[in-house]
């Protein structure tokens, strides 16, 4: 088995977990009155009429991998700390992927540091689902465009290896993610 590909996948998953923790630490799903300061979240379904490779309609968060939309009831959370913007889509009860999270970390205004798409199930041979990208790591690329508080991240990441077939290596997958932020915590 190629230990380099396992390290890359592990690094991408670690980046996903770190981004998700940063963002979920800043979010709240509890009810609050309009005058409270609870962190904003936006719920949006990824089942949209947007064609693969195009941004979702205004105000809608979505994600697709290899041109296939991830059908989910996403909660969108966006938070900024220092020069890093953490973006996350979560669906904790997804029928296909279990606990599904899609995240990206953006440095400055236009450098994608990491992208992670992970599910507690839905991968090959009963394994968890994972696709990740880390800036500087071989096997992927990512770009971001911004329109208001909507971020469109596209690129290619490395998928989790099939542990039942160690000689198969890892699979690269294209991703297309729209994070429609109603507001940005700390931003």
Assess whether pLDDT exceeds 50 at residue 45: no
Q: With respect to residue 33, please indicate whether it lies within any of the assigned structural domains.
A: no
- Give the model's confidence band at 162: pLDDT under 50 very low, under 70 low, under 90 confident, else very high: confident
Q: Give CA–CA dist 117/32, Å, rounded.
A: 30
Instruction: Please check whether residue 84 lies inside any domain of the structure.
Output: yes
Mean per-residue pLDDT of the chain: 75
What whole-number percentage of the chain has pLDDT above 90? 51
Segment 112-143, tens digit of pLDDT? 999 999 999 998 878 899 999 999 888 899 99
Instruction: Give the 3-state DSSP-derived string for the chain, with helices as H, strands as E and coil as C.
Output: CCHHHHHHHHHHHHHHHHHHHHHHHCCCCCCCCCCCCCCCCEEEECCCCCCCCCCCCCCCCEEEECCEECCCEEEEEEEEECCEEEEEEEEEEECCCEEEEEEEEEECCCEEEEEEEEEEEECHHHCEEEEEEECCCCCCEEEEEEECCEEEEEEEEEECCCCCCHHHCCCEEEEEEEEECCCCECC
Split at pLDDT 50, 70, 90, the class of 171 is confident
Show the domain range for 7.
3-28+59-180
Asked if pLDDT for residue 13 goes beyond 90, the answer is no
Asked whether residue 116 is domain-assigned, the answer is yes
Predicted TM-score (pTM) above 0.75: no
Q: Is residue 185 part of a domain?
A: no
Number of structural domains, the chain? Answer: 1
Task: Tell me whether residue 170 is in a domain.
Answer: yes
Does the pLDDT of residue 20 top 70, yes or no?
no
């Amino acid at each position: 088995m190629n230990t380099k590909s396992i390290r890359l996948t592990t690094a991408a998953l670690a980046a996903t977990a770190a981004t998700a923790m940063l963002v979920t630490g800043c979010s709240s799903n509890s009810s609050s009155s309009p005058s409270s300061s609870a962190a904003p979240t936006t719920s949006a379904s990824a089942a949209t009429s947007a064609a693969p490779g195009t941004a979702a309609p205004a105000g809608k968060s979505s994600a697709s991998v290899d041109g296939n939309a991830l059908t989910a009831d996403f909660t969108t959370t966006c938070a900024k700390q220092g020069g890093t913007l953490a973006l996350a889509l979560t669906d904790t009860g997804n029928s296909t992927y279990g606990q599904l999270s899609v995240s990206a970390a953006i440095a400055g205004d236009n450098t994608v540091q990491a992208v992670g798409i992970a599910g507690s199930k839905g991968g090959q041979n009963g394994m968890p689902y994972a696709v990740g990208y880390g800036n500087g790591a071989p096997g992927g690329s990512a770009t971001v465009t911004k329109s208001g508080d909507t971020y469109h991240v596209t690129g290619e990441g490395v998928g989790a290896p099939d542990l039942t077939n160690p000689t198969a290596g890892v699979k690269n997958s294209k991703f297309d993610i729209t994070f429609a932020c109603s507001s940005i915590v700390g931003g």
